[in-house]
Structure 1
């Protein structure tokens, strides 16, 4: 599935995947990431009420499981990144899919909160090992700079679309089969699609080592000492915390303002729509758009929407525009991070550098909603908007700075 060529002087050139292999990688990662997020994250709000009723506990106690998985993923991110750098993604991502399928099946059998929490510790490991972060790392390792951005965008666009379109199906499954059977079905589908797919198509450890041997990259410790790294960390951590807090409290804020629950939840569809549209634009014009300024603009749009939302009042069109602005920042942010990091620091230690930013992002995603809930009313929107604006401003010094790792990917 791979091609390796040699120059006339017998000096080996960089091993690269074939066009067919690259397309298969994209297809497998799009399917496995979609199923992973659906089975381990997207299903939670659909089954939250029947789960709480069945287990005789509060919805808050059930929802705390997602915080547990987020923090577990944060703890796992750096060691997983180091393993990805050294050995590649086949063993890590295959194992992660196995752990995820087992976690969801265990979740389906849970009869107490401790069992739910144990399941979500495993979910946290699985999400880190076999969804976006790991998939993007493999794509960066396996594809050249000319194909990397489009590959990442395509995976994120397909997975993003699938995870938003699946809600009606999940609702039907929950009504038809109940929450436990729904989870069992998702566990089986996830395992059957992701495990063999990862085992079959991800380059072997030996191939990974040959690829990385021909790539350059800033050593991990050196990257941490560069101002560019810290500006990127501030940008992506701020944006991630902003989105996480907003998504938790958006419906409650809109209802408190005076919108109906139906209208408030419908407005959030705008986030998904703009995520897809923003990624579609980048896919179409990938070779013409520079990611750093595009990301700064996207984070600015997100900030503007959040800061203006308290002024929109009961105007549905204005509220929809403000809410949709969050989708622009989220849509661009997810796909820009791996590409900008690869451009900035090269490939050789990419997964470790990515993990170093993923960990504080996960902490922000877990902590910011708590701060926002404590603030309540319109003040949490000011905090969310300010964080996104800080993220946009942090990227500005990098707009004209040439990529550090551009010379050798």
Structure 2
């Protein structure tokens, strides 16, 4: 490595933005692991002690998801105004307090009240505020920073599902939640100590060095000072690139959520062994990490919007193969094609949005997008479930494939709109 490249590598290593990425990667594992994934492990002991049905207990998580989407809109405005440091630190403290309330719930109303707090805390500590930090601190290195965040945070379920079960086995579910509450609250420390609002506040520039002109952002990127078109109700949504990207992200979430909820049931009904069905469902998550790496590598050469659209088209093809090929080949091909595209919008959406809107309004617009995506997550099981109940799994999965194709078309449209603007 030559002296110039060595100096550049040292400068990147010392850049505070990367310390923030690694701190956020760890806190996202904890926040997602406790506030979202651990619910699956606590469901049965909660249901038995509260003498409630599965639907009644799981309704608390649905409420949390809905409030997280709604809260993201307000949190986005706070992030643009105040930065992520104290918003995320406060969210971690609220999350810890809400998990304590969860541990003490004696009936359904108390459980639901605790999950109101969890939903609001989730809006302040999950991916959206982390995206805002990365958007502020990175330009050319933004895809690599997003990859680091989402790959590391992708292990949240791997870490916290077994860890939660071990705590329940050793302490009981209520005491286990108290331990997890402390872990969530402790995330306030790295948020407060590591996060900073912007590079300019520290006399730095994004990425730790000036842009050398190789960035793939559209040449028409909006100057930071010209924010008037983005102010007011619906300001950013008058920009076609933002509209199409938002719809694409919501539709891909519908496709993903439909498959995530109904894949195992379909495979079992089709006669697949229970072990194959479980491996297929788990394989989607594992391959989503591979897909994010592939996206980041190819995006540097082809463009992130084009690569993402191609991978989402692959998801639709995977659904077709699930019904066209004999088993078990159908399941293998499906998992490969659908899984590769499963998590690509987690990187592509914030990366593309960062090219479409100026930094000072990024978090507010991203929060509004998160509401649309969360709506897709909540609606997908209801809409697909109704189709499956009425017409069978074929139409239900065709619905998923159609949403994926529409998302790919909208991604291409958003890129073209951005370059024309």
- Per the alignment, do residues 298 and 178 of structure 1 end up closer, same or farther by CA in structure 2, a change over 3 Å counting? farther
CA distance in 2, matches of 1:19, 1:369: 45
Does the CA contact (< 8 Å) of 1:140 and 1:148 recur in 2?
yes
1:153 to 2:147 alignment: yes
Note the 1:372-391 alignment, pairs <5 A: 372-376=384-388, 377-378=392-393, 379-391=395-407
TM-aligned CA distance change 1:128 to 1:207, over 3 Å: farther
Deviations 1:14-36 (A, max 9, x none): xx998341221011100111100
Q: How many residues align?
A: 386
Aligned to 1:330, what secondary structure does the other structure show? coil
Taking a change above 3 Å as real, the CA distance of residues 252 and 153 of structure 1, as seen in their structure-2 partners, is same
Give the secondary structure class of the aligned counterpart of 1:245: helix
Counterpart of 1:8 in structure 2 is none
Change (3 A) 1:321 1:61: farther
Partner of 1:4: none
What is the aligned partner in structure 1 of residue 110 from structure 2? 115
Query: Which sits farther off after the overlay, 384-393 or 320-329?
Result: 320-329
Relative to structure 1, the CA distance from residue 204 to residue 335 in structure 2 (aligned partners, 3 Å threshold; closer, same or farther) is closer
CA distance in 1, matches of 2:235, 2:123: 24
Q: Does 1:362 align with 2:374?
A: yes
Find the counterpart in structure 1 of residue 134 from structure 2: 139
Report the CA distance shift for 1:65/1:321 in structure 2 as closer, same or farther (over 3 A). Answer: farther
1:189 is matched with which residue? 183
Residue aligning to 1:306: 319
Gap change, CA 1:338 and 1:216, over 3 Å in 2:
farther
Q: 1:111 to 1:271 in 2, by over 3 A?
A: same
Aligned residue among 374, 387, 395 for 2:411: 395
Q: Does 1:53 align with 2:57?
A: no
Match 1:336 to one of 318, 343, 348: 348
Are 1:32 and 2:32 matched, yes or no? no
Runs of 4+ residues deviating >4 angstroms: 204-212, 283-286, 399-405
Distance 1:54 1:323, change over 3 A: farther
- Taking structure 1 as the reference length, what is the TM-score of the superposition? 0.87
Label 1:391 to 1:104 Cα distance change in 2 as closer, same or farther (>3 A). same
Residue aligning to 1:271: 284
The CA distance in 2 between the partners of 1:127 and 1:17, in whole Å, is 30
CA distance in 2, matches of 1:323, 1:102: 39
Q: Which moved more, 1:169-178 or 1:269-278?
A: 169-178
For 1:124, the equivalent position in structure 2 comes to 119
Map 1:228-377 onto structure 2 (within 5 A).
228-284=241-297, 287-312=300-325, 315-376=327-388, 377=392
Cα displacement (A) at 1:388:
1.0
Q: Distance in 1 between matches of 2:338 and 2:319?
A: 7
Q: 2:291–2:342: 8 Å Cα contact kept in structure 1?
A: no
Which stretches in structure 2 are left out of the alignment for 5+ residues?
A: 1-10, 207-222
Which is further off, 51-60 or 25-34? 51-60
1:161–1:276 Cα contact (<8 Å) kept:
no
